[in-house]
Amino acid sequence: MNAVRYAHQEIFPSKVVCIGRNYVEHIEELGNEIPAAMVVFNKPNSAITDTLYFISEDTRFEGEITFLIQKGKIAGVGFGLDLTKAALQNYLKSKGLPWERAKAFDHSAVLSEFVPFEGELSTLSMKLYVNNVLVQFATYALMMYKPQTMIDEIESFMHLEDGDIIMSGTPKGVGTYAAGDRFVGQIYSHDVLILEKSWKAESKDVV
């Protein structure tokens, strides 16, 4: 199984639970409707990686604040890239079909290490730079669904195992990328940087 790093140890998540359409401006930039209920989908353990691969020219990055769960509660915070095969997802949506082929493929959950966090979740924010340009920024306040609401909704139909990951949704600014592009994801509490992760997109055939 694939692992993530948390508090200097390896953790093996059974799944990554993703919250879709959680920021209004991102919904608008993709021309989607604001959902009447929380959008939830899963990525399997095989999607987890700490390496960013160039998948295809239409693969889109989506930076996110991510949470590691222990005993039903948020124990750690990290930065994640939810990779999406955009053209394929648009086709699947047009046919009313599930998104797994576009969202749950191998290496599609690119995750940093996770740092223990016992502070106020309302202080959290994230930034994503691509080639030294700030492309995404989000705060807790901009989330339509807050972290505890996410947990409550997920556990209303699916148990969260210790070590599972929640990807909390992406703000506006998503886009495609190329091999060699450099990414820097940052998580802040108030104005204090608590985590930074860098990636360089690598060429590899993983389809």
pTM, two decimals, is 0.93
Query: Which residues span the domain enclosing 199?
Result: 4-203
DSSP secondary structure letter of residue 189: E
CATH number of the domain that 28 lies in? Answer: 3.90.850.10
In tens, the pLDDT along 184-199 reads 999 999 999 999 999 9
Structure tokens at 164: 């599972």
Split into its structural domains, the chain has a count of 1
Query: Of the ranges 18-22, 98-102, 136-140, which one carries the lowest mean pLDDT score?
Result: 18-22
Of the chain, the percentage scoring pLDDT greater than 70 comes to 93
pLDDT score recorded for residue 206: 46
Q: Is 143 exposed, middle or buried (0-12, 13-18, 19+ CB in 10 A)?
A: buried
In tens, the pLDDT along 10-45 reads 999 999 999 987 876 655 665 666 667 889 999 999
- Residue 42 to residues 15, 31, 118, 131, 141, Cα–Cα distance (Å): 7, 22, 26, 29, 24
